[in-house]
């Protein structure tokens, strides 16, 4: 083993401390594959979990598609309800005191009260 001199004192090329450090490094290198496998396995599992939550979770892609479909259905229903509302407003206006549609009044009286004129034939 070659030696070198520092301020006149001979030192071995590899001291006891550096030899111990080399042994510890090899021991750490042997345990690192297990740590790496555990770390990457946990990271992969966490990645899978977050990917699943991003697709299937409460705020995921499938839930968003479901909510968009529900919103479209509700918008269509809203359009139908608005059309029905405007029709009812029209009928109400036509039967009001300010604007009275006699034909509509006659039709409603026939439907509600069951009136029939003398010259009409009603099938039973």
pLDDT of residue 39: 94
Averaged over successive runs of 10 residues, the pLDDT of the chain (124 residues) comes to 56 55 56 85 96 90 95 98 96 85 84 82 78
Ramachandran region, residue 7 (left: φ > 0; alpha: ψ -120 to 50; beta: rest): left
pTM score above 0.85: no
pLDDT of residue 27: 52
In the chain, where are the structural domains located? Answer: 16-56, 74-115
Spatial neighbors of 28 by CB under 8 A, at least 6 apart, are none
Q: Where are the beta strands (DSSP E) in the chain?
A: 3-6, 9-12
pLDDT of residue 31: 60
The answer to whether the beta carbons of residues 104 and 94 sit under 8 Å apart is yes
pLDDT of residue 117: 79
């Amino acid at each position: 083993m070659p030696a070198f001199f520092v301020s006149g004192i001979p030192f071995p090329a590899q001291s006891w401390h550096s030899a111990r450090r080399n042994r510890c490094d090899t021991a750490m290198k042997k345990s690192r594959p297990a740590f790496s496998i555990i770390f990457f396995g946990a990271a992969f599992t966490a990645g899978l979990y977050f990917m699943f939550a991003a697709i299937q979770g409460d705020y995921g892609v499938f839930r968003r598609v479901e909510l968009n479909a529900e919103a479209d259905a509700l918008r269509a229903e809203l359009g139908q309800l608005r059309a029905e509302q405007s029709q009812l407003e029209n009928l109400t206006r036509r039967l009001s005191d300010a604007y009275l549609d006699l034909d509509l009044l006659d039709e409603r009286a026939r439907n509600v009260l069951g009136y029939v004129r003398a010259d009409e034939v009603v099938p039973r």
